[in-house]
Amino acid sequence: MPIASSNSTALITGGSTGIGLALASRFLSAGSTVIVTGRSQQRLDEAAAAHPGLLTIANDMSRAEDRSALAAQLHREHPFLNIVINNAGIQRRVALAEDDAPWTERQAEIDVLLSGPVHLNHLLVPHLLATGRPSLVANVTSGGAYVPQPFAPVYAACKAALHSYTVTLRHALQGTPCRVVEIAPPAVQTALAGPGASHGVPLNDFADAIFARLTETEEDFIGYGMTDSEAFHAAAEPYAEMFKGFAGRFPVKTYD
């Protein structure tokens, strides 16, 4: 069933700006308790000042110890948590042929974009199921998960891996009250691409559409613009059908 837009408790990582904050404001306005995370305390404070009632937690999703601490805090303070939106992201726009940065920069990108949501979901899914309430895990991928982006190769590869993981997480949670959604944005007008970047679809239009489809439909894939086009779906659907055929070939334990 669609997730309730009111009386829910939602965690949105990377929620101090951009897509995360736009979705947070909509859940908050609908009557939900909303917790956002981010690395910058200043940006979190600014978000809270602009959105009364918004709860914030300073947290670095690239660090395993921060993810564990976040999960423990949520267990203590928000026992009725039923929405997790893995939105935190960074994007390095460096072509492979000129990427001479220390490995730690690429590792940080991998940790935020892939290790973070995989680990956090592992920590929080049992919590969601224990509430007995309808719940939602939404992983934010990208059009680049399907069509690699030469200008951001590590970012696109991580989003492709997150897409694959999301499909298997949905399979693992079938038959439970937890719905698993992939949100695949096209380019959106946010600061992700760096200071001054202005290309992409308007943020508020995108957030309005995504929020409505999260709360009013039972869709498990939500795109927008290019990632919601007939051509995009036509290219992706054969792989979804192929997964259904392969998924039952070997016995795999799923969540109860």
Q: Is 146 a catalytic residue?
A: no
SS3 call for 79:
coil
d(CA 151, CA 109): 14
By the 8 A CB rule, do 70 and 122 touch? Answer: no
d(CA 27, CA 156): 28
Length of the chain: 256
Nearest to 21 by CA among 135, 240, 192: 192
Torsion sign over Cα 16, 18, 232, 145: negative
Catalytic residue among 155, 165, 239, 255: 155
Residue 69 parent element (H or E): helix 64-77
Question: Phi/psi of residue 81, each to 5°?
Answer: -50, 130
Strands 55-58 and 221-223: unpaired
Check residue 56 and give left, alpha or beta (phi > 0: left; psi -120 to 50: alpha): beta
- The token pair that represents 86 in the structure block: 């893995």
Helix boundaries (H) for 78-202: 103-110, 116-131, 153-172
- The token pair that represents 81 in the structure block: 């948590």
- The token pair that represents 123 in the structure block: 């920590």
Question: Phi/psi of residue 181, each to 5°?
Answer: -120, 140
Residues catalogued as catalytic: 155
